[in-house]
Amino acid sequence: MKWLNAVIGKLLLMVGLDLESRIGGSIQFFLYDTMKITGLLCVLIFLISYIQSFFPPERSRKIMGRFHGIGANAVGALLGTVTPFCSCSSIPIFMGFTSAGLPLGVTFSFLISSPMVDLGSLVLLISIFGVKIAVAYVVLGLVIAVIGGTLIEHLHMEDQIADFIRHNPGKVDIESPHLTVKDRLLYSKDQVVFTFKKVFLYILIGVAIGAVIHNWIPEGWVETVLGDNNPFGVILATLVGIPMYADIFGTIPIAEALFTKGALLGTILSFMMAVTTLSLPSLTMLKNVIQPKLLGTFIAICTVGIILVGYVFNAIAHLLV
């Protein structure tokens, strides 16, 4: 969408803004990224929601119930890619899957992958970082989900699930209705409106932060904190990302700005994964569903996995960029 950036630049020049100045550059970055991400977001949500209409929770539960072992974890992680766009939205479905009797490890593979990896993020990442980086991000995100779920399964922590879920077995709340094409199109349109209202503020915040990083923060500062000079940059980025609350669409403009300023690729992706998977609001919701021991295990597995992925990406970045 470079043509859009060029059009915005010409319009700003017509009103007298100097695009080489910090203010002019920030405004151009803000307008371009906001319009690009919002436009792609609406198109992607419509298409993905149409796909989602074929995989309501009850049908997903039945699909996952056909598999066993690590294969079941892989299926749970893959189904997480075509379900809600943030961790808070995934938790009610996780509860339904758990109460329906699915293995704990499988439900956690779903819970990890759902906010971290989705089809929309894949396309947006391709538009900014290229195909190789986007695919590598998705693959490693799925690996974290599968390994994390498998580890939790082998720890046999079923007693850490809240009693109201364990003692209330049954189906996932949403059945699999027969929908016409018109029904699916209406559902997709409603999802666009709902998700847009939910995430647009975070897109604006993310793009604003990205504009500040891109035009106001010296490149040397970013390289010192998140570049080769700091071997602990991945750990720092992960810990900084955890208390934030956003989704993948709000973190992408920040990642884009950091990338152009010299931050290491793995460090940036660790930040994105931490924000989307381990946000405080989602952990607070999860605390009401599982006991502290299991919650701590979940946080530890995800944190270690995200940090390891960051260092792996930093090591192989020269093969991807």
Give 132-147 pLDDT, tens digit per residue.
Answer: 888 888 888 899 999 9
Comparison of pLDDT for 140 and 121, the residue scoring more: 140
Say what the pLDDT of residue 229 is.
77
Comparison of pLDDT for 66 and 235, the residue scoring more: 235
Q: What is the mean pLDDT of residues 91-111?
A: 82
Tokens of residue 304, six digits: 């270690």
Residue 197: its H or E element: helix 181-215
Say what the pLDDT of residue 297 is.
92
**For 18, what's the count of Cα atoms within 13 Å in the CB-facing half-sphere?**
5
For the cut 60, the answer to whether the pLDDT of residue 148 exceeds it is yes
Say what the pLDDT of residue 174 is.
47
Say what the pLDDT of residue 20 is.
87
Say what the pLDDT of residue 284 is.
79
Q: What is the mean pLDDT of residues 148-160?
A: 90
Give the whole-number percent of the chain exceeding pLDDT 90: 18
Q: What is the mean pLDDT of the chain?
A: 82
Say what the pLDDT of residue 80 is.
81
Cα 99 from chain centre:
25
For the cut 80, the answer to whether the pLDDT of residue 299 exceeds it is yes
Q: What is the mean pLDDT of residues 228-245?
A: 84
Distant-in-sequence, close-in-space partners of 190: CB < 8 Å, separation ≥ 6 = none
156: left (phi over 0), alpha (psi -120 to 50) or beta: left
- The model's confidence at residue 64, banded by pLDDT at 50, 70 and 90, is confident
Q: In whole angstroms, what is the distance from residue 36 CA to residue 56 CA?
A: 29
For the cut 70, the answer to whether the pLDDT of residue 178 exceeds it is yes
Q: What is the mean pLDDT of residues 231-259?
A: 82
Say what the pLDDT of residue 23 is.
92
pTM of the shown model: 0.75
Say what the pLDDT of residue 172 is.
47
